[in-house]
């Protein structure tokens, strides 16, 4: 759309997501991104779910256009300590470090 004015961070409490639980966020991400083709996108979705389950901050922004149109956008904050530990623990298998690799995928 032409006339894009930009976006600004808003409090999630000021959105329709105000009562969302961790479970709701996981389901929301599955609804938003689960239908996108490509294994690398599915890997990304799984990674986003892990971020949510490991305490990622949910960031909500409102995007605005000069014609009055607005759109709520959702993203996740930086990796938490719990997320980083999960990934590190995942990569250690019976044969020691780097037995498995964790794939963060590619965002759609």
Summarised one tens digit per residue, pLDDT across range 58-95 is 999 999 999 999 999 999 999 999 999 999 888 887 77
pLDDT band at residue 1 using 50, 70 and 90 as cut-offs: low
Count of domains for the chain: 1
Residue 97 within a domain:
no
Nearest to 30 by CA among 12, 44, 40, 19: 44
Residue 42 within a domain:
yes
- Residue ranges making up the domain that contains 52: 4-90
Sequence-ordered list of residues with C-beta below 8 angstroms from that of 81, at least 6 positions apart, any chain: none
pLDDT band at residue 100 using 50, 70 and 90 as cut-offs: confident
- For the segment 32-43, the average pLDDT, to the nearest whole number, is 95
Please tell me the total number of residues recorded for the chain in this structure.
Answer: 108
pTM to 2 decimals? 0.87
Residue 29 within a domain:
yes
Residue 40 within a domain:
yes
Residue 23 within a domain:
yes
Residue 83 within a domain:
yes
Give me the pLDDT at residue 25, please.
98
């Amino acid at each position: 759309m032409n006339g894009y004015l930009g976006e600004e961070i808003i409090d999630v409490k000021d959105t329709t997501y105000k009562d969302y639980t961790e479970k709701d966020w996981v389901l929301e991400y599955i609804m938003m991104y689960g239908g996108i083709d490509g294994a690398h996108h599915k890997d990304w979705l799984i990674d986003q779910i892990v971020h949510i389950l490991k305490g990622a901050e949910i960031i909500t922004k409102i995007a605005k256009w000069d014609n009055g149109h607005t759109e709520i956008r959702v993203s996740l904050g930086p990796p938490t300590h719990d997320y980083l530990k999960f990934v590190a623990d995942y990569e250690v298998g019976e044969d020691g470090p780097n037995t498995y690799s964790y794939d963060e995928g590619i965002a759609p």
